[in-house]
C-alpha cells in the first residue's frame, strides 16, 4: 500500500527535531493521552528558532495551554540574553499546570502567568512585543489581528497555528464558524500591506508574518 506525501511529511519533520528534555517529552505524552491540543514538536522547534533568529526578548502568547509552546519560547528568550514570555490562558488549572512544567524546566523565571481572555489581556499590555504567538479559539482569529498589529513592533514576528486546520479549509462544504474564520484570517493577513506572510506546512499549518 502506497503512503501519500501528506502522511509522510509530518513524521519526517518530527524526526528532524533535536532531542528534547524529558519534561518536554512528558508534556507531549500527556497531550497525546488526554487529547489535549498542543503544537507539534516540529512547530515548537520552529518557534524556538524564530525566537532566536530575531533576538526576541519580549514574547506574548495568546492561548498558551499548559505551557508546552511557552517552554520553546522561553528557551529562546533565555539564549537571547533574557526577557519575558507572557503565558496567557483562560483556565487557572492550566496556568498552574504550566507553572509546574516550566519550573521543572528551569524556565519559570522568564515567564509571566496571566489567567484571562487572550485578546483582552494583550489589549491591556503596553508592548511593543518582538514576537506574538496565537493559538486561541479559531473564530477569534480575524478580530484579534488589529490588536496584534498595534502591539507588535515593526519587524516583529507573528506566529499563528492551525491554518491548515486538518485539511478542513479545503472542504468547500465546511462553513462552520471556526473554519470560516480561519479562511477569513488567512486572506486578511496575506493580502494586507502591513504584513509579509508565509504559510509553513509544519504541524497543522503555521503562519509566519513579519510586521512591516
Domain boundaries, the chain: 39-211
Summary mean pLDDT of the chain: 94
- CATH superfamily, domain 39-211, is Vaccinia Virus protein VP39 (3.40.50.150)
Q: Is the previous residue joined to 128 through a cis bond, with omega within 30 degrees of 0?
A: yes
Q: What is the pLDDT of residue 9?
A: 85
User: By C-alpha distance, which of 8, 155, 129, 109 is closest to 57?
Assistant: 129
Largest CA distance in the chain: 55
Whole-model pTM? 0.93
* Collapsed DSSP state (helix, strand, coil) of residue 196: strand
- Is the pLDDT at 1 greater than 60? The verdict is no
Q: What average pLDDT does the segment 23-47 reach?
A: 93
- Which residues, 6+ apart, have CB-to-CB distance to 76 below 8 Å? 47, 48, 49, 50, 51, 52, 56
- Burial annotation 35-55 (CB, 10 A radius, 16+ → b, else e): eeebbbbbbbbbbbebbeebe
Amino acid at each position: 500500500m502506497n503512503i501519500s506525501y501528506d502522511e509522510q511529511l509530518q513524521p519526517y519533520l518530527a524526526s528532524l527535531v533535536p532531542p528534547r528534555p524529558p519534561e518536554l517529552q512528558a508534556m507531549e505524552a500527556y497531550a497525546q493521552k488526554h487529547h489535549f491540543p498542543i503544537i507539534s514538536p516540529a512547530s515548537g522547534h520552529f518557534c524556538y528558532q524564530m525566537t532566536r533568529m530575531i533576538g526576541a526578548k519580549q514574547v506574548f502568547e495568546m492561548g498558551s495551554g499548559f505551557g508546552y509552546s511557552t517552554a520553546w519560547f522561553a528557551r529562546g528568550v533565555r539564549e537571547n540574553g533574557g526577557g519575558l514570555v507572557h503565558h496567557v490562558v483562560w483556565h487557572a488549572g492550566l496556568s498552574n499546570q504550566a507553572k509546574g512544567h516550566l519550573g521543572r524546566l528551569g524556565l519559570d523565571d522568564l515567564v509571566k502567568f496571566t489567567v484571562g481572555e487572550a485578546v483582552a489581556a494583550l489589549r491591556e499590555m503596553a508592548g511593543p512585543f518582538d514576537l506574538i504567538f496565537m493559538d486561541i479559539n479559531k473564530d477569534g482569529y480575524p478580530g484579534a489581528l488589529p490588536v496584534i498589529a498595534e502591539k507588535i513592533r515593526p519587524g516583529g514576528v507573528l506566529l499563528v497555528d492551525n491554518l491548515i486546520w486538518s485539511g478542513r479549509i479545503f472542504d468547500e462544504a465546511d462553513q462552520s464558524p471556526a473554519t470560516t474564520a480561519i479562511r477569513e484570517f488567512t486572506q486578511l493577513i496575506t493580502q494586507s500591506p502591513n504584513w509579509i506572510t508565509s504559510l509553513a506546512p509544519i504541524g497543522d499549518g503555521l503562519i509566519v508574518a513579519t510586521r512591516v
